[in-house]
Amino acid sequence: MDRFPVGRDSFAPSRPAAEAVWRHVIDLLESEREQITGRDVSAPVDVRELRTAIGAYGFDRPVDPETVVEDVAGLLRAATVHTTHPRYFGLFNPAPTLMGVVGETLAAAFNPQLAAWSHAPAAVEIEAHLLRFLGGRLGYPPETVAGSFTSGGAEANLTAVLLALTKRWPEYGEKGLRALEGRPVMYASAESHLAWLKIAHATGIGRDAVRLVPSGPGLRLDTRALAERVAADRADGALPFLVVATAGTTSAGVIDPLHDLAGFCRDLGLYLHVDAAYGGAAALSDRLRPALDGIERADSITVDAHKWMSVPMGAGALLCTDAEGLAETFRVTTSYMPAEVPDTVDPYTSSQQWSRRFMGLKLFLSLAVAGREGYAGQLEHDAALAEVLRERLTETGWDIVNDTPLPVVCFADPGTATWEHHDALARAVVGGGRAWISPVRLNGRAALRACVISHRTTSADVEDLVHAVNEARK
Protein backbone atom coordinates (compact mmCIF):
# COMPACT_ATOMS: atom_id res chain seq x y z
CA MET A 1 0.00 0.00 0.00
CA ASP A 2 1.23 3.49 -0.81
CA ARG A 3 1.73 5.35 2.42
CA PHE A 4 1.43 9.02 3.16
CA PRO A 5 4.87 10.67 3.04
CA VAL A 6 5.98 12.05 6.37
CA GLY A 7 6.36 15.68 7.37
CA ARG A 8 4.97 18.54 5.35
CA ASP A 9 4.46 16.35 2.28
CA SER A 10 1.65 14.55 4.13
CA PHE A 11 -0.57 17.54 3.36
CA ALA A 12 -0.53 16.54 -0.32
CA PRO A 13 -0.51 12.72 -0.55
CA SER A 14 -0.33 10.86 -3.81
CA ARG A 15 -3.62 9.79 -5.36
CA PRO A 16 -3.12 6.08 -4.52
CA ALA A 17 -2.37 6.98 -0.89
CA ALA A 18 -5.42 9.25 -0.64
CA GLU A 19 -7.67 6.63 -2.26
CA ALA A 20 -6.48 4.03 0.22
CA VAL A 21 -7.50 6.27 3.12
CA TRP A 22 -10.89 7.00 1.58
CA ARG A 23 -11.53 3.28 1.02
CA HIS A 24 -10.60 2.59 4.63
CA VAL A 25 -12.95 5.32 5.90
CA ILE A 26 -15.83 4.16 3.70
CA ASP A 27 -15.42 0.55 4.81
CA LEU A 28 -15.30 1.65 8.44
CA LEU A 29 -18.43 3.79 8.17
CA GLU A 30 -20.40 1.11 6.34
CA SER A 31 -19.38 -1.41 8.97
CA GLU A 32 -20.57 0.94 11.70
CA ARG A 33 -23.90 1.46 9.94
CA GLU A 34 -24.42 -2.30 9.62
CA GLN A 35 -23.36 -3.18 13.16
CA ILE A 36 -24.75 -0.32 15.25
CA THR A 37 -28.05 -2.06 15.98
CA GLY A 38 -26.29 -4.95 17.69
CA ARG A 39 -24.28 -2.71 20.00
CA ASP A 40 -25.22 -1.08 23.29
CA VAL A 41 -26.55 2.44 22.92
CA SER A 42 -24.01 3.58 25.51
CA ALA A 43 -21.44 2.06 27.84
CA PRO A 44 -19.61 3.12 31.02
CA VAL A 45 -16.43 5.12 30.42
CA ASP A 46 -13.29 5.04 32.55
CA VAL A 47 -12.04 8.63 32.38
CA ARG A 48 -8.41 7.76 33.17
CA GLU A 49 -8.24 5.02 30.57
CA LEU A 50 -9.78 7.31 27.97
CA ARG A 51 -7.34 10.13 28.66
CA THR A 52 -4.41 7.73 28.62
CA ALA A 53 -5.43 6.37 25.22
CA ILE A 54 -5.79 9.86 23.77
CA GLY A 55 -2.60 11.06 25.47
CA ALA A 56 -0.60 8.35 23.70
CA TYR A 57 -0.65 10.72 20.74
CA GLY A 58 2.11 13.16 21.58
CA PHE A 59 2.34 14.37 17.96
CA ASP A 60 6.12 13.92 18.06
CA ARG A 61 6.15 11.61 15.04
CA PRO A 62 3.90 10.94 12.05
CA VAL A 63 1.41 8.07 12.30
CA ASP A 64 0.05 5.97 9.45
CA PRO A 65 -3.37 7.49 8.51
CA GLU A 66 -5.26 4.18 8.56
CA THR A 67 -3.91 3.54 12.05
CA VAL A 68 -5.03 6.84 13.53
CA VAL A 69 -8.44 6.62 11.81
CA GLU A 70 -8.94 3.16 13.30
CA ASP A 71 -7.81 4.36 16.73
CA VAL A 72 -10.16 7.33 16.73
CA ALA A 73 -13.05 5.20 15.48
CA GLY A 74 -12.38 2.78 18.31
CA LEU A 75 -12.47 5.59 20.85
CA LEU A 76 -15.73 6.94 19.44
CA ARG A 77 -17.20 3.45 19.36
CA ALA A 78 -16.35 2.81 23.01
CA ALA A 79 -16.87 6.25 24.54
CA THR A 80 -19.93 7.78 22.92
CA VAL A 81 -23.66 7.78 23.48
CA HIS A 82 -24.60 6.43 20.07
CA THR A 83 -27.18 8.90 18.83
CA THR A 84 -27.15 6.97 15.52
CA HIS A 85 -28.58 3.90 17.28
CA PRO A 86 -32.23 3.04 16.52
CA ARG A 87 -32.93 2.75 20.25
CA TYR A 88 -31.57 6.17 21.12
CA PHE A 89 -34.71 7.88 22.40
CA GLY A 90 -32.92 10.84 23.88
CA LEU A 91 -32.34 14.46 22.97
CA PHE A 92 -32.89 15.91 19.52
CA ASN A 93 -29.85 14.18 17.98
CA PRO A 94 -30.96 11.93 15.10
CA ALA A 95 -29.00 9.50 12.98
CA PRO A 96 -27.78 11.59 10.03
CA THR A 97 -28.80 10.88 6.48
CA LEU A 98 -26.20 9.47 4.10
CA MET A 99 -26.46 12.57 1.94
CA GLY A 100 -25.97 14.72 5.01
CA VAL A 101 -22.65 13.01 5.64
CA VAL A 102 -21.76 13.39 1.96
CA GLY A 103 -22.64 17.08 2.21
CA GLU A 104 -20.28 17.54 5.15
CA THR A 105 -17.53 15.85 3.17
CA LEU A 106 -18.04 18.05 0.11
CA ALA A 107 -18.21 21.18 2.24
CA ALA A 108 -14.94 20.26 3.95
CA ALA A 109 -13.19 19.35 0.70
CA PHE A 110 -14.19 22.46 -1.27
CA ASN A 111 -14.00 24.59 1.90
CA PRO A 112 -15.88 27.63 0.54
CA GLN A 113 -15.65 30.83 2.56
CA LEU A 114 -19.19 32.07 3.09
CA ALA A 115 -18.35 35.47 4.53
CA ALA A 116 -18.52 37.16 1.12
CA TRP A 117 -20.83 36.30 -1.77
CA SER A 118 -18.01 36.83 -4.27
CA HIS A 119 -15.92 34.09 -2.61
CA ALA A 120 -18.67 31.46 -2.64
CA PRO A 121 -21.50 32.38 -5.01
CA ALA A 122 -22.82 28.83 -5.39
CA ALA A 123 -22.74 28.09 -1.66
CA VAL A 124 -24.38 31.38 -0.68
CA GLU A 125 -27.12 30.97 -3.27
CA ILE A 126 -27.78 27.34 -2.28
CA GLU A 127 -28.31 28.43 1.31
CA ALA A 128 -30.51 31.36 0.27
CA HIS A 129 -32.64 28.98 -1.80
CA LEU A 130 -33.01 26.66 1.19
CA LEU A 131 -34.00 29.53 3.48
CA ARG A 132 -36.69 30.62 1.02
CA PHE A 133 -37.97 27.04 0.81
CA LEU A 134 -38.10 26.57 4.59
CA GLY A 135 -39.62 30.00 5.13
CA GLY A 136 -42.25 29.27 2.49
CA ARG A 137 -43.22 26.00 4.17
CA LEU A 138 -43.55 27.88 7.47
CA GLY A 139 -45.88 30.43 5.88
CA TYR A 140 -43.67 33.36 4.95
CA PRO A 141 -43.89 34.67 1.36
CA PRO A 142 -40.76 32.96 -0.06
CA GLU A 143 -39.59 36.01 -1.97
CA THR A 144 -39.43 38.02 1.27
CA VAL A 145 -37.46 35.50 3.35
CA ALA A 146 -34.18 36.64 4.85
CA GLY A 147 -31.94 34.99 7.40
CA SER A 148 -28.91 32.79 7.75
CA PHE A 149 -27.70 29.33 8.63
CA THR A 150 -26.21 29.18 12.10
CA SER A 151 -24.19 26.81 14.24
CA GLY A 152 -27.42 25.82 15.97
CA GLY A 153 -30.55 27.04 17.69
CA ALA A 154 -28.69 29.04 20.33
CA GLU A 155 -27.00 31.22 17.72
CA ALA A 156 -30.23 31.59 15.75
CA ASN A 157 -32.07 32.64 18.91
CA LEU A 158 -29.29 35.08 19.78
CA THR A 159 -29.72 36.57 16.32
CA ALA A 160 -33.45 36.99 16.99
CA VAL A 161 -32.83 38.83 20.27
CA LEU A 162 -30.27 41.14 18.66
CA LEU A 163 -32.69 41.84 15.82
CA ALA A 164 -35.54 42.52 18.26
CA LEU A 165 -33.40 44.93 20.31
CA THR A 166 -32.24 46.77 17.19
CA LYS A 167 -35.76 47.04 15.79
CA ARG A 168 -37.16 48.36 19.07
CA TRP A 169 -34.26 50.72 19.81
CA PRO A 170 -32.20 51.66 16.72
CA GLU A 171 -29.72 53.44 19.01
CA TYR A 172 -28.90 50.15 20.77
CA GLY A 173 -26.48 49.12 18.00
CA GLU A 174 -24.28 52.19 18.34
CA LYS A 175 -24.63 53.25 21.96
CA GLY A 176 -25.65 50.05 23.72
CA LEU A 177 -28.02 49.71 26.64
CA ARG A 178 -26.92 53.00 28.19
CA ALA A 179 -28.87 54.80 25.44
CA LEU A 180 -32.16 53.24 26.57
CA GLU A 181 -34.53 54.92 28.96
CA GLY A 182 -35.08 51.78 31.03
CA ARG A 183 -34.39 48.07 31.44
CA PRO A 184 -35.34 45.83 28.48
CA VAL A 185 -37.08 42.59 29.50
CA MET A 186 -38.15 39.54 27.51
CA TYR A 187 -40.51 36.64 28.11
CA ALA A 188 -40.38 32.90 27.48
CA SER A 189 -42.11 29.87 28.92
CA ALA A 190 -40.60 28.20 31.95
CA GLU A 191 -40.64 25.08 29.75
CA SER A 192 -38.52 26.77 27.06
CA HIS A 193 -34.88 26.04 26.33
CA LEU A 194 -32.84 28.04 28.83
CA ALA A 195 -30.27 29.20 26.30
CA TRP A 196 -32.20 32.46 26.76
CA LEU A 197 -30.26 33.06 29.96
CA LYS A 198 -26.92 32.82 28.16
CA ILE A 199 -28.25 34.98 25.34
CA ALA A 200 -29.42 37.66 27.79
CA HIS A 201 -25.96 37.60 29.37
CA ALA A 202 -24.29 38.01 25.96
CA THR A 203 -26.54 40.85 24.77
CA GLY A 204 -26.01 42.84 27.94
CA ILE A 205 -29.61 42.92 29.14
CA GLY A 206 -28.68 40.50 31.93
CA ARG A 207 -30.01 37.12 32.94
CA ASP A 208 -32.66 38.49 35.27
CA ALA A 209 -34.19 40.34 32.31
CA VAL A 210 -35.53 36.95 31.15
CA ARG A 211 -39.02 36.44 32.58
CA LEU A 212 -39.80 32.73 32.67
CA VAL A 213 -43.58 32.62 32.49
CA PRO A 214 -45.33 29.65 34.10
CA SER A 215 -46.90 27.08 31.83
CA GLY A 216 -50.60 26.44 31.94
CA PRO A 217 -52.66 23.41 30.93
CA GLY A 218 -50.79 21.05 28.66
CA LEU A 219 -47.43 22.64 29.62
CA ARG A 220 -48.05 25.52 27.18
CA LEU A 221 -47.10 29.09 27.98
CA ASP A 222 -49.87 30.63 30.08
CA THR A 223 -51.02 33.71 28.14
CA ARG A 224 -52.89 35.13 31.13
CA ALA A 225 -49.78 34.91 33.32
CA LEU A 226 -47.80 36.51 30.47
CA ALA A 227 -50.21 39.44 30.24
CA GLU A 228 -50.04 39.98 33.99
CA ARG A 229 -46.24 39.92 33.99
CA VAL A 230 -45.95 42.35 31.08
CA ALA A 231 -48.38 44.76 32.74
CA ALA A 232 -46.50 44.56 36.03
CA ASP A 233 -43.15 45.16 34.36
CA ARG A 234 -44.45 48.20 32.49
CA ALA A 235 -45.89 49.58 35.72
CA ASP A 236 -42.45 49.17 37.31
CA GLY A 237 -40.76 51.10 34.51
CA ALA A 238 -39.23 48.12 32.72
CA LEU A 239 -39.32 47.90 28.92
CA PRO A 240 -40.90 44.69 27.58
CA PHE A 241 -39.75 44.12 24.00
CA LEU A 242 -39.79 40.39 23.12
CA VAL A 243 -41.96 37.32 23.62
CA VAL A 244 -40.62 33.88 22.73
CA ALA A 245 -42.95 31.05 21.81
CA THR A 246 -41.65 27.51 21.58
CA ALA A 247 -42.79 25.07 18.89
CA GLY A 248 -41.58 21.79 20.32
CA THR A 249 -40.18 22.19 23.83
CA THR A 250 -37.12 20.12 24.64
CA SER A 251 -38.67 18.52 27.68
CA ALA A 252 -42.08 17.58 26.29
CA GLY A 253 -42.38 18.55 22.61
CA VAL A 254 -45.15 21.01 23.44
CA ILE A 255 -46.20 23.81 21.07
CA ASP A 256 -47.14 27.10 22.69
CA PRO A 257 -50.41 28.86 21.60
CA LEU A 258 -48.97 30.59 18.55
CA HIS A 259 -52.06 32.47 17.34
CA ASP A 260 -52.85 33.77 20.82
CA LEU A 261 -49.30 34.97 21.33
CA ALA A 262 -49.17 36.58 17.89
CA GLY A 263 -52.33 38.54 18.65
CA PHE A 264 -51.03 39.53 22.08
CA CYS A 265 -47.73 40.80 20.66
CA ARG A 266 -49.45 42.69 17.86
CA ASP A 267 -51.77 44.46 20.31
CA LEU A 268 -48.93 45.48 22.66
CA GLY A 269 -46.27 46.23 20.06
CA LEU A 270 -43.96 43.42 21.13
CA TYR A 271 -41.64 41.39 18.92
CA LEU A 272 -42.61 37.70 18.60
CA HIS A 273 -39.97 35.05 17.98
CA VAL A 274 -40.79 31.36 17.65
CA ASP A 275 -38.15 28.88 18.67
CA ALA A 276 -39.09 25.98 16.40
CA ALA A 277 -35.63 24.43 16.47
CA TYR A 278 -37.18 20.98 16.81
CA GLY A 279 -40.82 21.30 15.80
CA GLY A 280 -40.23 23.46 12.74
CA ALA A 281 -39.46 20.33 10.73
CA ALA A 282 -43.17 19.47 10.89
CA ALA A 283 -43.69 22.12 8.21
CA LEU A 284 -42.35 19.62 5.66
CA SER A 285 -45.41 17.40 6.22
CA ASP A 286 -48.84 18.50 5.02
CA ARG A 287 -50.32 16.26 7.72
CA LEU A 288 -48.27 17.72 10.59
CA ARG A 289 -48.08 21.35 9.38
CA PRO A 290 -51.42 22.38 11.00
CA ALA A 291 -49.79 21.90 14.41
CA LEU A 292 -47.70 24.99 13.60
CA ASP A 293 -50.60 27.22 12.54
CA GLY A 294 -49.84 30.77 13.60
CA ILE A 295 -46.09 30.47 13.22
CA GLU A 296 -46.29 32.50 10.02
CA ARG A 297 -47.30 35.51 12.16
CA ALA A 298 -43.97 35.52 14.01
CA ASP A 299 -41.39 38.22 13.36
CA SER A 300 -38.69 35.54 13.23
CA ILE A 301 -38.34 31.78 13.53
CA THR A 302 -35.55 29.39 14.53
CA VAL A 303 -35.29 25.98 12.85
CA ASP A 304 -32.55 23.39 13.39
CA ALA A 305 -31.99 21.02 10.48
CA HIS A 306 -29.69 18.94 12.68
CA LYS A 307 -32.63 17.99 14.85
CA TRP A 308 -35.67 16.40 13.22
CA MET A 309 -34.39 16.94 9.66
CA SER A 310 -31.66 14.40 10.34
CA VAL A 311 -28.55 16.12 9.08
CA PRO A 312 -25.20 16.22 10.93
CA MET A 313 -24.57 18.97 13.46
CA GLY A 314 -24.57 21.88 13.27
CA ALA A 315 -27.18 23.36 11.00
CA GLY A 316 -29.49 25.87 12.61
CA ALA A 317 -31.26 28.65 10.78
CA LEU A 318 -32.79 32.02 11.58
CA LEU A 319 -35.69 32.98 9.31
CA CYS A 320 -37.50 36.29 9.05
CA THR A 321 -38.84 38.70 6.43
CA ASP A 322 -36.81 41.71 7.56
CA ALA A 323 -33.68 41.87 5.44
CA GLU A 324 -33.20 45.54 6.31
CA GLY A 325 -33.39 44.80 10.02
CA LEU A 326 -30.74 42.10 9.74
CA ALA A 327 -28.52 44.44 7.74
CA GLU A 328 -28.84 47.12 10.41
CA THR A 329 -28.15 44.63 13.19
CA PHE A 330 -24.95 43.26 11.64
CA ARG A 331 -23.76 46.06 9.36
CA VAL A 332 -20.01 46.58 9.13
CA THR A 333 -17.63 47.96 6.52
CA THR A 334 -13.98 47.03 6.06
CA SER A 335 -11.34 47.75 3.46
CA TYR A 336 -9.96 44.22 3.37
CA MET A 337 -13.19 42.40 2.49
CA PRO A 338 -14.07 41.96 -1.19
CA ALA A 339 -16.31 44.59 -2.73
CA GLU A 340 -20.03 43.86 -2.60
CA VAL A 341 -21.56 42.42 -5.76
CA PRO A 342 -24.75 44.19 -6.91
CA ASP A 343 -28.04 42.41 -6.13
CA THR A 344 -26.38 40.09 -3.60
CA VAL A 345 -25.90 39.99 0.18
CA ASP A 346 -22.59 39.20 1.84
CA PRO A 347 -23.46 36.83 4.72
CA TYR A 348 -21.03 38.50 7.12
CA THR A 349 -23.08 41.70 6.90
CA SER A 350 -26.38 40.01 7.83
CA SER A 351 -25.41 37.40 10.43
CA GLN A 352 -23.41 36.96 13.62
CA GLN A 353 -20.66 34.88 12.04
CA TRP A 354 -17.91 36.13 9.78
CA SER A 355 -15.87 33.25 8.39
CA ARG A 356 -18.03 30.16 8.41
CA ARG A 357 -18.62 26.71 7.06
CA PHE A 358 -21.04 25.80 4.23
CA MET A 359 -23.63 24.49 6.69
CA GLY A 360 -26.60 24.29 4.36
CA LEU A 361 -25.17 21.80 1.86
CA LYS A 362 -26.00 18.71 3.94
CA LEU A 363 -29.65 19.75 4.06
CA PHE A 364 -29.72 20.66 0.37
CA LEU A 365 -28.44 17.21 -0.65
CA SER A 366 -30.72 15.40 1.81
CA LEU A 367 -33.81 17.25 0.59
CA ALA A 368 -32.85 16.86 -3.06
CA VAL A 369 -32.44 13.09 -2.78
CA ALA A 370 -35.39 12.32 -0.46
CA GLY A 371 -37.70 15.05 -1.73
CA ARG A 372 -40.11 16.88 0.52
CA GLU A 373 -42.56 13.99 0.33
CA GLY A 374 -39.83 11.58 1.40
CA TYR A 375 -39.12 13.77 4.40
CA ALA A 376 -42.81 14.05 5.16
CA GLY A 377 -43.16 10.29 5.12
CA GLN A 378 -40.32 9.88 7.61
CA LEU A 379 -41.64 12.55 9.97
CA GLU A 380 -45.11 11.02 9.88
CA HIS A 381 -43.59 7.57 10.50
CA ASP A 382 -41.84 8.92 13.62
CA ALA A 383 -45.10 10.45 14.85
CA ALA A 384 -46.90 7.14 14.28
CA LEU A 385 -44.24 5.22 16.22
CA ALA A 386 -44.65 7.66 19.10
CA GLU A 387 -48.37 6.87 19.13
CA VAL A 388 -47.54 3.18 19.30
CA LEU A 389 -45.20 3.88 22.21
CA ARG A 390 -47.91 5.85 24.06
CA GLU A 391 -50.40 3.03 23.58
CA ARG A 392 -47.99 0.33 24.74
CA LEU A 393 -46.92 2.31 27.80
CA THR A 394 -50.54 2.95 28.74
CA GLU A 395 -51.34 -0.73 28.32
CA THR A 396 -48.54 -1.64 30.72
CA GLY A 397 -49.56 0.78 33.46
CA TRP A 398 -47.70 4.03 32.80
CA ASP A 399 -49.24 7.52 32.81
CA ILE A 400 -48.65 9.67 29.71
CA VAL A 401 -48.05 13.19 31.05
CA ASN A 402 -47.57 15.33 27.94
CA ASP A 403 -49.80 16.22 25.02
CA THR A 404 -48.20 16.92 21.64
CA PRO A 405 -48.54 15.87 18.01
CA LEU A 406 -44.75 15.59 17.90
CA PRO A 407 -42.97 12.31 18.74
CA VAL A 408 -41.89 13.16 22.29
CA VAL A 409 -43.40 10.83 24.88
CA CYS A 410 -43.24 11.68 28.58
CA PHE A 411 -44.49 9.03 30.97
CA ALA A 412 -44.60 8.51 34.71
CA ASP A 413 -44.88 5.60 37.09
CA PRO A 414 -48.17 6.14 38.95
CA GLY A 415 -46.90 4.00 41.80
CA THR A 416 -44.03 6.27 42.87
CA ALA A 417 -43.96 9.94 41.93
CA THR A 418 -40.50 10.93 43.19
CA TRP A 419 -37.66 12.25 41.09
CA GLU A 420 -35.27 9.73 42.65
CA HIS A 421 -37.46 6.85 41.48
CA HIS A 422 -37.70 8.05 37.88
CA ASP A 423 -34.02 8.96 37.76
CA ALA A 424 -33.17 5.44 38.95
CA LEU A 425 -35.42 3.95 36.26
CA ALA A 426 -33.69 5.98 33.55
CA ARG A 427 -30.26 4.99 34.84
CA ALA A 428 -31.27 1.33 34.88
CA VAL A 429 -32.42 1.48 31.26
CA VAL A 430 -29.34 3.38 30.09
CA GLY A 431 -27.01 1.21 32.15
CA GLY A 432 -28.42 -1.89 30.51
CA GLY A 433 -27.33 -0.57 27.12
CA ARG A 434 -30.56 -1.51 25.37
CA ALA A 435 -31.91 2.03 25.02
CA TRP A 436 -31.29 5.65 26.01
CA ILE A 437 -33.94 7.75 27.75
CA SER A 438 -33.79 10.50 30.33
CA PRO A 439 -35.64 11.69 33.42
CA VAL A 440 -37.43 15.02 33.17
CA ARG A 441 -39.36 17.45 35.36
CA LEU A 442 -42.58 18.84 33.91
CA ASN A 443 -44.13 21.58 36.03
CA GLY A 444 -42.39 19.98 38.98
CA ARG A 445 -43.62 16.47 38.19
CA ALA A 446 -41.05 13.72 37.70
CA ALA A 447 -41.31 11.63 34.55
CA LEU A 448 -39.34 9.77 31.91
CA ARG A 449 -38.82 11.15 28.43
CA ALA A 450 -38.46 9.27 25.14
CA CYS A 451 -38.18 10.95 21.76
CA VAL A 452 -38.56 9.03 18.49
CA ILE A 453 -35.94 10.89 16.47
CA SER A 454 -34.09 8.32 14.34
CA HIS A 455 -35.03 7.22 10.83
CA ARG A 456 -33.60 3.83 11.82
CA THR A 457 -36.13 3.25 14.61
CA THR A 458 -38.76 0.55 14.03
CA SER A 459 -41.77 -0.75 15.92
CA ALA A 460 -39.53 -3.54 17.24
CA ASP A 461 -37.25 -0.91 18.81
CA VAL A 462 -40.26 0.72 20.44
CA GLU A 463 -41.28 -2.64 21.86
CA ASP A 464 -37.75 -3.15 23.18
CA LEU A 465 -37.98 0.18 24.99
CA VAL A 466 -41.30 -0.74 26.59
CA HIS A 467 -39.80 -4.03 27.74
CA ALA A 468 -36.72 -2.24 29.14
CA VAL A 469 -38.67 0.29 31.22
CA ASN A 470 -41.00 -2.41 32.52
CA GLU A 471 -38.04 -4.55 33.54
CA ALA A 472 -36.46 -1.57 35.31
CA ARG A 473 -39.69 -0.97 37.23
CA LYS A 474 -39.81 -4.50 38.68
Q: Which domains does the chain have, with CATH numbers?
A: 105-365 (3.40.640.10)
Q: Does residue 3 register a pLDDT over 60?
A: no
Rounded distance between C-alpha atoms, residue 386 and residue 35, angstroms: 25
Across residues 164-178, what is the average pLDDT? 94
Task: Show contacts of 8-17: CB within 8 Å, 24+ apart.
Answer: 10/62, 17/65
Across residues 398-420, what is the average pLDDT? 95
pLDDT band at 1 (very low <50, low <70, confident <90, very high): very low
Rounded distance between C-alpha atoms, residue 188 and residue 230, angstroms: 12
CA proximity to 222, closest of 252, 253, 264: 264
| pLDDT given at position 5 | 52
| pLDDT given at position 340 | 83
Residues 275-309 as b/e (b if ≥16 CB within 10 A, e otherwise) read bbbbbbbbbbbeebbebbebbbbbbbbbbbbbbbb
Q: What percent of the chain has pLDDT over 70?
A: 98
| pLDDT given at position 84 | 94
pLDDT band at 54 (very low <50, low <70, confident <90, very high): very high
Across residues 304-333, what is the average pLDDT? 94
| Residues sharing a CB contact under 8 Å with residue 167, sequence separation 6 or more, in sequence order | 271, 299, 322, 325
Q: Does residue 42 register a pLDDT over 70?
A: yes
199-251 confidence digits (pLDDT tens): 999 999 999 999 999 999 899 999 999 999 999 999 999 999 999 999 999 99
Rounded distance between C-alpha atoms, residue 329 and residue 424, angstroms: 47
272-284 confidence digits (pLDDT tens): 999 999 999 999 9
Per-residue DSSP letters for 375-410? HHHHHHHHHHHHHHHHHHHHHTTPEE----SSSEEE
Contact 142, 319 (CB under 8 A): no
Q: Phi/psi class of residue 139: alpha, beta or left (left: φ > 0; alpha: ψ in -120 to 50)?
A: left
pTM for this prediction = 0.94
What is the 8-class DSSP label of residue 418? -
Rounded distance between C-alpha atoms, residue 286 and residue 309, angstroms: 15
